[in-house]
Structures are given as structure tokens and as C-alpha cells.
Structure 1
Amino acid sequence: MASDNWMNATAELLTYYEQEWGQPEHDDQRLFELLCLETYQAVLSWQTVLAKRAAFRTAFYQFEIQKVAQMTTTDIDRLLQNPAIIRNRRKLAATVNNAQVVLAIQQEQESFAHYLWAFVDGQPIVNRPKTWADVPAQSALSVAVSRDMKRRGFQFVGPVTVYSYLQGAGLIDDHPQHLKG
């Protein structure tokens, strides 16, 4: 998302940017959905992922964590036949795996949101880059979160994906100066 106009590429991207991106999220199901969408994006465009979002919601029970965690390899095989979604076996299997890890975190901690927001002491990190080009691809925070997530068993959570995830979920606010009040 290095371009100053990435959010203007389509109406769908602009709506996402204005209504969701960077808004502090504390709902476990929505945080899980966003994590899944970020994993699907690896080597693809966010525009492609958003265009398939509705189909992913249908395929993965509206991202109800408990239901996704119970999906089997038979379910993954079925999804691989669905042209409306991104059909990558490893990413689809990671969705199920990551749901199982989220459930384990929910058992261990107050919530998945509590786990994530603890990394930033409950407050978004606010940066004010001059342009999108000044926004880093990763940070010390995303490296630390990625490392902990991998240790817990999450898949497709490298530091770049995690940085983008933290931005989308509002833990990191990287809205450039000229786009904020």
C-alpha cells in the first residue's frame, strides 16, 4: 500500500479504508476475519482479497471461530473447488489452524483481542508519516508479534503480514499526516 492513492483504486477499497482500515477493533470474530484476509493477501492485492471477501465469509461460516476450527481436510478439499475464493490449500488450511490457535488463546486469556492489544498496552501506536511511501513494511512490534504468533502455532504470520494486520485492526495508526484532520 505504498501509493498515496491506493484507497481510491476502487469504490470497495475506499469504503474499506474509510470505514474499517485503522479503526481499533476489539471483537474476536472480526479480528480473526481480518487475520484470515491478511493471510490470503500474501503475494496478492488487497483489492483481490476484498473482492472475494463475501465468498470467504460464506465459505468459512462468517468466520465464526468455533465453526472454522472444526473444519476438516474434506472441507478444505471442497473449498478448493470453489472459484469464488482464493484456492490455495495452504492458506485455506491455515485458516482452520489459526482458528484453533485463536480458541486456545481465548481459553488461556480473556480474549483474542486482549492478547493482541496487550502488545500495545491497550492503546494504538499513532504514527503520522508524511506519505504512504514513509510507512514501513514491518517494525520491531510486528516482528515481536509475529514471533509470538508463530510460537503459538499460527501460520502465514510473517512480520510484513502482521504489520499490515496491526494497521488494519487499528493497533498501528499509519494514516499519513495529510489525510488526518
Structure 2
Amino acid sequence: MTYEIIDTTPLDPIAQPLLAALEIEYTTRYREFRKDSAASVSEEMLRYPAELFAPPEGAFIVIQRDGKTVGGGAFKRYDTATAELKRIWTHESERRQGLARRVVEELEARALRQGYRRVYLTTGFRQPEAAGLYTSTGYEALFDRSIAPEIHFRLPFGKDLLEPGRLESLSDLRRAEPLGQRS
């Protein structure tokens, strides 16, 4: 299978399948934990203006196969040294085939080229596949794993891009308390 990686923007029509599918997935996974799940997910999806995901401080990619958007993701500036990954997604039919790993690798490469030294991200506690992906690609959990994940709600991870596995460079990204529903 041949995949095409396209640097684009969340406003591009080819990004819409990714964004629409994320809204459905987040709404479904968190329905019982958010009062108005659909509205809060829509609000979250609109929280960041598209320009935050554009170079020189950000990036937004989609992956297409045969003209169909099957994956993608983005990053924006977290701080001067850190890119924050957002909107990592793969189509249901493409999961468990390494495509999400490729999205992460592509975003990390762009972040390095744009001068970032590390990456930060959060994923939801009802997304164990995402947590597994980040752990398997060298991300360090920046939360207390002895606390039930739903208390954290959002699970933060970090990675030193220059020295993967180096934890000292991530210490300022750790939070003293769980990331509840709003932070």
C-alpha cells in the first residue's frame, strides 16, 4: 500500500474526514463522563485556531491512501523547546497496522526540523490504544500511574527528541496533581 503524506491545514477539505471522525470518537468514548458530550467535544475541536498548526511553530499532516484520508495529526507550540501533539487519528480500517506510529514519527521529524527539542501531549483516559502507542514510541508517562486513569481524565506524556529516554529534561512538564476534566 502506498500512502501519501500531505502537509496541510485543519481548514483544508482533506482534513475534514479526520476532524469529523475525531469528534464522533471523542463524543462516543466520553459520553458518560461529560454532561453534553457532543457540545464539549465540538468546543474542544474549535479551541485552537488553525494558524497554531502552521509552520514555523506548528504542523498539520494528513495521510491519504488512494485519495482517501486515512490518518493524520498535528502539533503546535507548547513552549520554546516543546511541541504539543494534537489530533492524532487513524481510520478504523487502518488501525493496528503501524499508521499511527508513522503519524507520530512524521510529526516528531517536523518538530525537530522546526527547532523543538521535546514533545508533550495528553490523551484521554478512555483511549488506552493511544496511551499504548505513546509508551511504545518512547514517551514517558508524566502522571502518577498508581492513581486511577479516570481521576486524571487527561493523561500527559513527554519525550525528549534529542535524547529519547532522557527523563530529566521532562521534569517541568510533570503536574503535581491530576489533569481533571478542565485545566
- TM interval, shorter chain, is under 0.3
Higher relative contact order (CA 8 A, sep 6+): 1
TM-score of the superposition, structure 1-length normalised? 0.27
Which structure's residues are more often helix, by fraction?
A: 1
Q: TM-score, normalised by structure 2?
A: 0.26
